[in-house]
Amino acid sequence: MATMISEVYDALRKAGASKEKCAATALVSYESRFTRIESDLTVPKWIDRV
């Protein structure tokens, strides 16, 4: 996962974005992935409780 963030950061830097904007975008990408994983696990957790 860290490689993906590094790739996003590097691509944005090469495109001319500021360091701050690149870092923020990379962190949002990281957070988005965890949110998606949590959502995917919600149904199995619910089924397990039944």
Over the stretch 8-22, which tens digit does the pLDDT of each residue have? 788 889 999 998 887
Residue 32 lies in a domain: yes
Domain membership flag for residue 34? yes
Question: Comparing 25 with 16, which gets the higher pLDDT?
Answer: 16
Residue 7 has pLDDT above 90, yes or no: no
Residue 48 lies in a domain: yes
Choice between 14 and 43, residue whose per-residue pLDDT is larger: 14
Residue 39's domain spans which residues?
20-50
Tell me the whole-structure pTM to 2 decimals: 0.45
Helix (H, G, I), strand (E, B) or coil at 17: coil
The CA distances from residue 1 to 31, 34, 35, 41, in Å, are 11, 10, 14, 18
Domain for residue 13, yes or no? no
How many folded domains does the chain comprise?
A: 1
Residue 2 domain-assigned?
A: no
Residue 36 lies in a domain: yes
